[in-house]
Structure 1
Amino acid sequence: MIIHPTPVSPVGPAILFAGLGLFLLLLVFAGKREAGESGSRRSPRSIVGIVIQMLAFVAVGAGLIDMSLAPASRAAIEQVGVVVLLIAFTCGVFTASKRALGRNWSLVARTRSDHELVTWGPFAYVRHPIYSALFAWLLAMAMAFGHYRGLILGIPLYWIGTTLRILEEEKLLRAQFGPVYDAYAARVKRFIPGII
Protein backbone atom coordinates (compact mmCIF):
# COMPACT_ATOMS: atom_id res chain seq x y z
CA MET A 1 0.00 0.00 0.00
CA ILE A 2 1.29 3.45 -0.89
CA ILE A 3 0.01 6.28 1.37
CA HIS A 4 -3.52 5.73 2.78
CA PRO A 5 -5.98 3.00 1.82
CA THR A 6 -9.37 3.79 0.30
CA PRO A 7 -12.25 2.82 2.62
CA VAL A 8 -13.71 -0.62 1.90
CA SER A 9 -16.46 -2.78 3.34
CA PRO A 10 -15.38 -5.62 5.68
CA VAL A 11 -17.11 -8.00 3.25
CA GLY A 12 -14.53 -7.45 0.47
CA PRO A 13 -11.48 -8.65 2.42
CA ALA A 14 -13.53 -11.56 3.85
CA ILE A 15 -14.46 -12.69 0.35
CA LEU A 16 -10.87 -12.26 -0.83
CA PHE A 17 -9.57 -14.48 2.00
CA ALA A 18 -12.26 -17.09 1.29
CA GLY A 19 -11.27 -16.98 -2.37
CA LEU A 20 -7.63 -17.35 -1.38
CA GLY A 21 -8.50 -20.50 0.54
CA LEU A 22 -10.26 -21.90 -2.52
CA PHE A 23 -7.37 -20.96 -4.80
CA LEU A 24 -4.81 -22.56 -2.46
CA LEU A 25 -6.86 -25.77 -2.48
CA LEU A 26 -6.89 -25.71 -6.28
CA LEU A 27 -3.14 -25.12 -6.27
CA VAL A 28 -2.50 -28.01 -3.86
CA PHE A 29 -4.52 -30.41 -5.98
CA ALA A 30 -2.89 -29.07 -9.15
CA GLY A 31 0.52 -29.78 -7.67
CA LYS A 32 -0.09 -33.53 -7.39
CA ARG A 33 1.73 -35.19 -10.29
CA GLU A 34 2.62 -38.72 -11.12
CA ALA A 35 6.08 -39.90 -10.12
CA GLY A 36 8.75 -40.78 -12.63
CA GLU A 37 9.12 -37.66 -14.74
CA SER A 38 12.09 -38.89 -16.73
CA GLY A 39 13.70 -36.52 -19.21
CA SER A 40 12.39 -33.46 -17.38
CA ARG A 41 14.03 -30.11 -18.20
CA ARG A 42 13.46 -27.36 -15.61
CA SER A 43 14.29 -23.69 -15.64
CA PRO A 44 15.49 -22.52 -12.22
CA ARG A 45 15.47 -18.92 -13.52
CA SER A 46 11.68 -18.99 -13.53
CA ILE A 47 11.88 -19.09 -9.71
CA VAL A 48 13.21 -15.51 -9.83
CA GLY A 49 10.08 -14.56 -11.77
CA ILE A 50 7.89 -16.24 -9.15
CA VAL A 51 9.60 -14.27 -6.36
CA ILE A 52 9.12 -10.96 -8.22
CA GLN A 53 5.44 -11.80 -8.85
CA MET A 54 5.03 -12.49 -5.13
CA LEU A 55 6.56 -9.08 -4.36
CA ALA A 56 3.83 -7.53 -6.54
CA PHE A 57 1.17 -9.14 -4.35
CA VAL A 58 2.98 -7.92 -1.23
CA ALA A 59 3.10 -4.38 -2.68
CA VAL A 60 -0.67 -4.43 -3.16
CA GLY A 61 -1.67 -6.43 -0.09
CA ALA A 62 0.57 -5.03 2.65
CA GLY A 63 -0.62 -2.25 4.89
CA LEU A 64 -3.63 -1.11 6.84
CA ILE A 65 -7.15 -1.77 5.60
CA ASP A 66 -9.74 0.94 6.27
CA MET A 67 -12.97 -1.06 6.67
CA SER A 68 -15.17 1.94 7.41
CA LEU A 69 -17.37 1.64 4.32
CA ALA A 70 -20.90 0.53 5.26
CA PRO A 71 -21.52 -3.00 3.90
CA ALA A 72 -24.99 -2.08 2.62
CA SER A 73 -23.80 1.02 0.72
CA ARG A 74 -23.87 1.06 -3.07
CA ALA A 75 -20.08 1.51 -3.24
CA ALA A 76 -19.54 -1.54 -0.99
CA ILE A 77 -21.94 -3.71 -3.00
CA GLU A 78 -20.22 -2.73 -6.26
CA GLN A 79 -16.80 -3.37 -4.73
CA VAL A 80 -17.80 -6.81 -3.47
CA GLY A 81 -19.40 -7.66 -6.83
CA VAL A 82 -16.22 -6.84 -8.72
CA VAL A 83 -14.06 -8.74 -6.21
CA VAL A 84 -16.30 -11.82 -6.56
CA LEU A 85 -16.12 -11.63 -10.38
CA LEU A 86 -12.33 -11.29 -10.39
CA ILE A 87 -11.89 -14.18 -7.94
CA ALA A 88 -14.29 -16.36 -9.94
CA PHE A 89 -12.40 -15.50 -13.14
CA THR A 90 -9.05 -16.35 -11.52
CA CYS A 91 -10.21 -19.68 -10.07
CA GLY A 92 -12.16 -20.62 -13.22
CA VAL A 93 -9.31 -19.89 -15.61
CA PHE A 94 -6.80 -21.63 -13.35
CA THR A 95 -8.98 -24.76 -13.11
CA ALA A 96 -9.64 -24.86 -16.87
CA SER A 97 -5.93 -24.28 -17.60
CA LYS A 98 -4.82 -27.00 -15.20
CA ARG A 99 -7.33 -29.40 -16.71
CA ALA A 100 -6.03 -28.64 -20.22
CA LEU A 101 -2.39 -28.94 -19.14
CA GLY A 102 -2.85 -32.22 -17.29
CA ARG A 103 0.55 -33.73 -16.51
CA ASN A 104 2.28 -30.83 -18.26
CA TRP A 105 1.38 -28.41 -15.43
CA SER A 106 4.20 -27.23 -13.19
CA LEU A 107 4.79 -24.26 -10.93
CA VAL A 108 8.35 -23.87 -12.23
CA ALA A 109 8.95 -23.76 -16.00
CA ARG A 110 9.80 -27.23 -17.27
CA THR A 111 9.29 -29.70 -20.10
CA ARG A 112 9.46 -33.50 -20.08
CA SER A 113 10.48 -35.90 -22.83
CA ASP A 114 6.79 -36.78 -23.31
CA HIS A 115 5.64 -33.16 -22.99
CA GLU A 116 2.65 -32.21 -25.09
CA LEU A 117 2.07 -28.76 -26.61
CA VAL A 118 -1.32 -27.74 -25.22
CA THR A 119 -3.30 -25.57 -27.64
CA TRP A 120 -6.86 -26.28 -26.45
CA GLY A 121 -9.02 -25.05 -23.59
CA PRO A 122 -7.93 -21.57 -22.44
CA PHE A 123 -4.70 -22.07 -24.43
CA ALA A 124 -6.70 -21.83 -27.65
CA TYR A 125 -7.30 -18.15 -26.78
CA VAL A 126 -4.12 -17.07 -24.99
CA ARG A 127 -0.74 -18.72 -24.45
CA HIS A 128 -0.48 -17.83 -20.75
CA PRO A 129 -3.99 -17.84 -19.28
CA ILE A 130 -2.85 -18.52 -15.72
CA TYR A 131 -0.81 -15.29 -15.66
CA SER A 132 -3.82 -13.35 -16.98
CA ALA A 133 -5.90 -14.91 -14.19
CA LEU A 134 -3.33 -14.04 -11.52
CA PHE A 135 -3.31 -10.44 -12.76
CA ALA A 136 -7.08 -10.40 -12.16
CA TRP A 137 -6.35 -11.61 -8.60
CA LEU A 138 -3.92 -8.71 -8.12
CA LEU A 139 -6.72 -6.32 -9.12
CA ALA A 140 -9.17 -8.11 -6.79
CA MET A 141 -6.73 -7.69 -3.91
CA ALA A 142 -6.30 -3.97 -4.60
CA MET A 143 -10.07 -3.52 -4.69
CA ALA A 144 -10.84 -5.67 -1.63
CA PHE A 145 -8.20 -3.96 0.52
CA GLY A 146 -8.61 -0.44 -0.90
CA HIS A 147 -4.96 -0.46 -1.89
CA TYR A 148 -5.34 0.97 -5.40
CA ARG A 149 -2.19 3.04 -5.03
CA GLY A 150 -0.27 -0.17 -4.39
CA LEU A 151 -0.86 -1.02 -8.04
CA ILE A 152 1.64 1.72 -8.94
CA LEU A 153 4.36 -0.65 -7.75
CA GLY A 154 2.45 -3.92 -7.97
CA ILE A 155 1.66 -3.85 -11.70
CA PRO A 156 5.26 -3.24 -12.86
CA LEU A 157 6.57 -5.90 -10.46
CA TYR A 158 3.94 -8.37 -11.64
CA TRP A 159 4.78 -7.82 -15.31
CA ILE A 160 8.54 -8.03 -14.71
CA GLY A 161 8.13 -11.34 -12.88
CA THR A 162 5.66 -12.62 -15.46
CA THR A 163 7.95 -11.62 -18.33
CA LEU A 164 10.85 -13.52 -16.75
CA ARG A 165 8.66 -16.61 -16.38
CA ILE A 166 7.19 -16.57 -19.86
CA LEU A 167 10.57 -16.04 -21.51
CA GLU A 168 11.85 -19.15 -19.73
CA GLU A 169 8.72 -21.16 -20.54
CA GLU A 170 8.72 -20.13 -24.18
CA LYS A 171 12.44 -20.90 -24.50
CA LEU A 172 11.80 -24.45 -23.24
CA LEU A 173 8.75 -24.89 -25.49
CA ARG A 174 10.63 -23.62 -28.56
CA ALA A 175 13.50 -25.99 -27.80
CA GLN A 176 11.05 -28.90 -27.55
CA PHE A 177 8.56 -28.09 -30.32
CA GLY A 178 10.43 -25.70 -32.67
CA PRO A 179 8.34 -24.47 -35.63
CA VAL A 180 5.14 -26.00 -34.21
CA TYR A 181 5.41 -23.70 -31.19
CA ASP A 182 6.37 -20.74 -33.40
CA ALA A 183 3.22 -21.26 -35.48
CA TYR A 184 1.10 -21.46 -32.32
CA ALA A 185 2.75 -18.28 -30.93
CA ALA A 186 2.14 -16.47 -34.22
CA ARG A 187 -1.62 -17.06 -34.10
CA VAL A 188 -2.33 -16.90 -30.31
CA LYS A 189 -1.52 -13.84 -28.19
CA ARG A 190 0.09 -14.16 -24.76
CA PHE A 191 -2.45 -12.62 -22.36
CA ILE A 192 -5.56 -11.07 -23.97
CA PRO A 193 -7.15 -12.75 -27.01
CA GLY A 194 -6.30 -10.87 -30.19
CA ILE A 195 -4.66 -7.95 -28.35
CA ILE A 196 -1.54 -8.68 -26.24
Structure 2
Amino acid sequence: MPDHYRYLILGLWAAWLIYWSVSALNVKTTRRRESLLSRAGHGVPLLIAAWLLVTPRLSGGMLGARFMPAGPAGSLAGTGLVLLGLLFTVWARVHLGRNWSGIVTLKQDHELIRSGPYRWVRHPIYTGLLLAFIGSAIALGQWRGGLAVLLVFAALWRKLRLEERWMIETFGAAYTSYRNEVAALIPFVL
Protein backbone atom coordinates (compact mmCIF):
# COMPACT_ATOMS: atom_id res chain seq x y z
CA MET A 1 0.00 0.00 0.00
CA PRO A 2 1.42 3.42 -0.87
CA ASP A 3 2.47 5.47 2.14
CA HIS A 4 -0.14 8.20 1.61
CA TYR A 5 -2.97 5.64 1.90
CA ARG A 6 -1.29 4.07 4.92
CA TYR A 7 -1.05 7.46 6.65
CA LEU A 8 -4.61 8.34 5.68
CA ILE A 9 -5.95 5.09 7.15
CA LEU A 10 -3.88 5.55 10.33
CA GLY A 11 -5.17 9.14 10.53
CA LEU A 12 -8.79 7.97 10.21
CA TRP A 13 -8.30 5.42 12.99
CA ALA A 14 -6.52 8.02 15.17
CA ALA A 15 -9.31 10.58 14.69
CA TRP A 16 -11.86 7.89 15.53
CA LEU A 17 -9.95 6.93 18.71
CA ILE A 18 -9.83 10.57 19.81
CA TYR A 19 -13.58 11.00 19.21
CA TRP A 20 -14.28 7.70 21.01
CA SER A 21 -12.17 8.72 24.02
CA VAL A 22 -13.71 12.18 24.32
CA SER A 23 -17.28 10.93 23.93
CA ALA A 24 -16.66 8.33 26.64
CA LEU A 25 -16.46 11.15 29.18
CA ASN A 26 -20.20 11.82 29.01
CA VAL A 27 -21.97 8.54 29.83
CA LYS A 28 -24.47 7.38 32.42
CA THR A 29 -23.38 5.79 35.67
CA THR A 30 -22.61 2.08 35.33
CA ARG A 31 -24.91 -0.30 37.17
CA ARG A 32 -23.30 -3.59 36.07
CA ARG A 33 -20.03 -4.28 34.24
CA GLU A 34 -18.35 -7.34 32.78
CA SER A 35 -15.34 -8.77 34.60
CA LEU A 36 -11.77 -7.97 33.62
CA LEU A 37 -11.25 -11.57 32.50
CA SER A 38 -14.35 -11.37 30.29
CA ARG A 39 -13.16 -8.11 28.80
CA ALA A 40 -9.76 -9.66 28.04
CA GLY A 41 -11.58 -12.42 26.15
CA HIS A 42 -12.51 -9.98 23.42
CA GLY A 43 -10.03 -7.16 24.06
CA VAL A 44 -6.85 -9.19 23.55
CA PRO A 45 -7.91 -10.53 20.11
CA LEU A 46 -8.81 -6.97 19.05
CA LEU A 47 -5.36 -5.75 20.08
CA ILE A 48 -3.67 -8.61 18.21
CA ALA A 49 -5.76 -7.81 15.12
CA ALA A 50 -4.77 -4.14 15.30
CA TRP A 51 -1.11 -5.12 15.69
CA LEU A 52 -1.34 -7.39 12.62
CA LEU A 53 -2.58 -4.46 10.57
CA VAL A 54 -0.22 -1.73 11.77
CA THR A 55 3.07 -3.58 12.15
CA PRO A 56 5.24 -2.37 9.27
CA ARG A 57 6.35 -5.74 7.97
CA LEU A 58 6.01 -9.41 8.65
CA SER A 59 9.00 -11.08 7.08
CA GLY A 60 8.29 -14.16 5.04
CA GLY A 61 5.61 -16.70 5.61
CA MET A 62 2.04 -16.78 4.49
CA LEU A 63 0.88 -13.87 6.68
CA GLY A 64 3.16 -11.47 4.80
CA ALA A 65 2.10 -12.80 1.39
CA ARG A 66 -0.36 -10.81 -0.71
CA PHE A 67 -3.90 -12.00 -1.38
CA MET A 68 -4.41 -9.21 -3.89
CA PRO A 69 -1.99 -7.30 -6.09
CA ALA A 70 -0.49 -4.05 -4.83
CA GLY A 71 -1.94 -0.97 -6.45
CA PRO A 72 -4.12 2.07 -6.01
CA ALA A 73 -7.45 0.27 -6.56
CA GLY A 74 -7.20 -1.87 -3.43
CA SER A 75 -5.76 0.97 -1.39
CA LEU A 76 -8.52 3.37 -2.45
CA ALA A 77 -11.31 0.82 -1.93
CA GLY A 78 -9.90 -0.17 1.46
CA THR A 79 -9.58 3.45 2.58
CA GLY A 80 -13.18 4.10 1.53
CA LEU A 81 -14.41 1.11 3.56
CA VAL A 82 -12.43 2.27 6.60
CA LEU A 83 -14.05 5.70 6.34
CA LEU A 84 -17.57 4.24 5.87
CA GLY A 85 -17.13 1.79 8.74
CA LEU A 86 -15.84 4.38 11.18
CA LEU A 87 -18.57 6.86 10.22
CA PHE A 88 -21.16 4.13 10.80
CA THR A 89 -19.79 3.57 14.32
CA VAL A 90 -19.96 7.30 15.04
CA TRP A 91 -23.57 7.45 13.83
CA ALA A 92 -24.41 4.54 16.13
CA ARG A 93 -22.53 6.13 19.02
CA VAL A 94 -24.51 9.35 18.60
CA HIS A 95 -27.80 7.40 18.75
CA LEU A 96 -26.71 5.49 21.85
CA GLY A 97 -25.99 8.74 23.62
CA ARG A 98 -25.13 8.36 27.28
CA ASN A 99 -26.00 4.61 27.25
CA TRP A 100 -22.70 3.82 25.50
CA SER A 101 -19.76 1.97 27.02
CA GLY A 102 -16.62 0.45 25.56
CA ILE A 103 -17.14 -2.66 27.66
CA VAL A 104 -20.28 -4.67 28.25
CA THR A 105 -22.23 -2.76 30.90
CA LEU A 106 -25.68 -1.85 31.99
CA LYS A 107 -26.21 1.82 32.82
CA GLN A 108 -28.52 3.52 35.29
CA ASP A 109 -31.82 4.02 33.44
CA HIS A 110 -30.47 2.08 30.47
CA GLU A 111 -32.62 2.53 27.36
CA LEU A 112 -33.24 0.20 24.43
CA ILE A 113 -32.24 2.23 21.35
CA ARG A 114 -33.92 1.34 18.06
CA SER A 115 -33.34 4.53 16.05
CA GLY A 116 -30.72 5.44 13.46
CA PRO A 117 -28.54 2.48 12.48
CA TYR A 118 -30.19 0.41 15.23
CA ARG A 119 -33.18 0.07 12.87
CA TRP A 120 -31.08 -2.15 10.58
CA VAL A 121 -28.64 -3.92 12.93
CA ARG A 122 -28.65 -4.50 16.67
CA HIS A 123 -24.90 -3.91 16.97
CA PRO A 124 -24.01 -1.22 14.41
CA ILE A 125 -20.81 -0.24 16.20
CA TYR A 126 -19.54 -3.79 15.72
CA THR A 127 -20.74 -3.74 12.10
CA GLY A 128 -18.86 -0.51 11.47
CA LEU A 129 -15.72 -1.80 13.16
CA LEU A 130 -15.81 -4.98 11.07
CA LEU A 131 -16.22 -2.90 7.91
CA ALA A 132 -13.30 -0.66 8.92
CA PHE A 133 -11.08 -3.67 9.67
CA ILE A 134 -12.06 -5.25 6.34
CA GLY A 135 -11.13 -1.99 4.61
CA SER A 136 -7.79 -1.89 6.43
CA ALA A 137 -7.13 -5.50 5.39
CA ILE A 138 -8.01 -4.80 1.75
CA ALA A 139 -5.76 -1.73 1.67
CA LEU A 140 -2.93 -3.77 3.19
CA GLY A 141 -3.58 -6.63 0.76
CA GLN A 142 -1.73 -9.24 2.83
CA TRP A 143 -3.04 -12.41 4.47
CA ARG A 144 -2.32 -11.01 7.92
CA GLY A 145 -5.17 -8.59 7.23
CA GLY A 146 -7.50 -11.52 6.63
CA LEU A 147 -6.39 -13.07 9.91
CA ALA A 148 -7.00 -9.72 11.65
CA VAL A 149 -10.56 -9.62 10.29
CA LEU A 150 -11.24 -13.16 11.53
CA LEU A 151 -9.93 -12.24 14.99
CA VAL A 152 -12.08 -9.11 15.07
CA PHE A 153 -15.17 -11.03 14.00
CA ALA A 154 -14.60 -13.72 16.65
CA ALA A 155 -13.94 -11.12 19.38
CA LEU A 156 -16.97 -9.00 18.52
CA TRP A 157 -19.22 -12.05 18.16
CA ARG A 158 -18.17 -13.18 21.65
CA LYS A 159 -18.84 -9.70 23.06
CA LEU A 160 -22.14 -9.47 21.20
CA ARG A 161 -23.39 -12.73 22.74
CA LEU A 162 -22.67 -11.50 26.27
CA GLU A 163 -24.32 -8.18 25.52
CA GLU A 164 -27.39 -9.93 24.09
CA ARG A 165 -27.82 -11.99 27.29
CA TRP A 166 -27.71 -8.84 29.40
CA MET A 167 -30.16 -7.03 27.13
CA ILE A 168 -32.64 -9.92 27.34
CA GLU A 169 -32.28 -9.94 31.15
CA THR A 170 -32.89 -6.19 31.25
CA PHE A 171 -35.53 -5.61 28.56
CA GLY A 172 -37.17 -9.05 28.37
CA ALA A 173 -39.84 -9.38 25.69
CA ALA A 174 -39.04 -5.97 24.18
CA TYR A 175 -35.49 -7.08 23.39
CA THR A 176 -36.59 -10.53 22.24
CA SER A 177 -38.99 -8.87 19.81
CA TYR A 178 -36.24 -6.50 18.61
CA ARG A 179 -33.92 -9.47 18.20
CA ASN A 180 -36.50 -11.27 16.05
CA GLU A 181 -37.01 -8.21 13.85
CA VAL A 182 -33.46 -6.88 13.36
CA ALA A 183 -30.25 -8.68 12.34
CA ALA A 184 -27.28 -8.70 14.69
CA LEU A 185 -24.49 -7.49 12.37
CA ILE A 186 -25.39 -7.62 8.69
CA PRO A 187 -28.79 -6.19 7.70
CA PHE A 188 -31.25 -8.94 6.75
CA VAL A 189 -28.56 -11.65 7.12
CA LEU A 190 -26.70 -12.17 10.42
Question: What is the TM-score of this pair, normalised by structure 2?
Answer: 0.84
Where relative contact order (Cα < 8 A, 6+ residues apart) is larger, the structure is 1
**Structure 1 SS opposite 2:57:** coil
Asked if residue 11 in structure 1 is aligned to residue 4 in structure 2, the reply is: yes
**Structure 2 SS opposite 1:111:** strand
Write out aligned runs for 1:2-41 (5 A).
Answer: 8-34=1-27, 37=29, 40-41=31-32
Q: Which runs of 4+ in 1 moved over 4 A?
A: none
Question: What is the TM-score of this pair, normalised by structure 1?
Answer: 0.81
Matched residues in 2 for 1:157 and 1:18: separation? 22
Asked if residue 105 in structure 1 is aligned to residue 88 in structure 2, the reply is: no
**Structure 2 SS opposite 1:116:** coil
How far does residue 34 in structure 1 lie from its aligned partner after superposition?
Answer: 4.6
Matched residues in 2 for 1:56 and 1:34: separation? 27
Matched residues in 2 for 1:138 and 1:96: separation? 17
Q: Deviations over 1:26-82 (max 9, x none)?
A: 2122211257x16x11112234212222222223333418xxxxxxxxx74323421
Partner residue, 2:159: 165
1:61–1:142 contact (8 Å) kept in structure 2 = no
1:127–1:188 contact (8 Å) kept in structure 2 = yes
Partner residue, 1:72: none
**Structure 2 SS opposite 1:41:** strand
Which of 73, 77, 86 aligns to 2:81? It is 86
Letter in 2 for 1:43: E
Asked if residue 43 in structure 1 is aligned to residue 34 in structure 2, the reply is: yes
Q: Deviations over 1:149-178 (max 9, x none)?
A: 114422332222112211111111111101
Partner residue, 2:124: 129
Of stretches 10-19 and 47-56 in structure 1, the one that deviates more from structure 2 is 47-56
Asked if residue 176 in structure 1 is aligned to residue 176 in structure 2, the reply is: no
In structure 2, stretches of 5+ residues that fail to align are 59-69
Asked if residue 156 in structure 1 is aligned to residue 150 in structure 2, the reply is: yes
Letter in 2 for 1:185: R
Matched residues in 2 for 1:47 and 1:180: separation? 30
2:183–2:189 contact (8 Å) kept in structure 1 = yes
**Structure 1 SS opposite 2:103:** coil
2:52–2:144 contact (8 Å) kept in structure 1 = yes
Matched residues in 2 for 1:182 and 1:80: separation? 41
Query: In percent, how many aligned pairs have the same letter?
Result: 23
**Which has more radius of gyration?**
1
In structure 1, stretches of 5+ residues that fail to align are 1-7, 66-74
Matched residues in 2 for 1:100 and 1:191: separation? 17
Q: 1:18 to 1:152 in 2, by over 3 A?
A: closer
Matched residues in 1 for 2:21 and 2:175: separation? 29
